[in-house]
Amino acid sequence: MKFVDINYYDDFISEVIFWIELLEPPLEIQQQAKQFDGDNYDETCFGLKVSYDSEKKEFSVVTRQEEEMDRDTEDNLYYIDNIGDEHWYKAEIPEDCKRQIFAECQKIIDSFEELAKETDATKELKETQGTKKQPKERNDHER
């Protein structure tokens, strides 16, 4: 399994969800995706979701939530078919692949934190500068 890219992310302040593109999932998963997607099968439509807990400062791989049964499953890898539906599978994500994914996600988290520092610094600068008094208007007859 190979990490390709972070497709996008959703920032919910307390949690950030990253959508990760993967290539070369296990062959049996590729075969299942080919069966239901047929000629529309696309090897670049595999991925996984990664969650970043802002409070704990931890990453984790998201598993599918079974809404009718209200329980988590072990399914952690998805394939998006040609009509946009997600099909979930259970796959072992190699540790080196997870480390690489988490490191790329961390770069985005770091950019958030850097932006927050810059915003805080700008705000602090404005507060310390205060407001400057405007020069008093002068009438020519005051000379």
Whole-angstrom distance, CA of residue 114 vs CA of residue 59: 19
How many of the other CB atoms lie within 10 Å of CB of 126?
A: 10
Q: Is it the case that residue 88 has pLDDT exceeding 50?
A: yes
Under the banding of pLDDT at 50, 70 and 90, the label for residue 36 is confident
> Considering the domain boundaries, does residue 35 fall inside one?
yes
Whole-angstrom distance, CA of residue 31 vs CA of residue 138: 84
> Considering the domain boundaries, does residue 82 fall inside one?
yes
Task: Return the half-sphere exposure (C-beta side, CA atoms, 13 A cut-off) of residue 135.
Answer: 3
Q: How many domains does the chain have?
A: 1
> Considering the domain boundaries, does residue 33 fall inside one?
yes
Summary mean pLDDT of the chain: 84
> Considering the domain boundaries, does residue 131 fall inside one?
no
Q: Is it the case that residue 132 has pLDDT exceeding 80?
A: no
What is the distance of C-alpha 98 from the center of its chain?
14
Residues in the chain, total: 143
> Considering the domain boundaries, does residue 88 fall inside one?
yes
Domain span at 13:
2-118
> Considering the domain boundaries, does residue 142 fall inside one?
no
> Considering the domain boundaries, does residue 9 fall inside one?
yes
> Considering the domain boundaries, does residue 128 fall inside one?
no
Q: Stretch 47-73: mean pLDDT, rounded?
A: 82
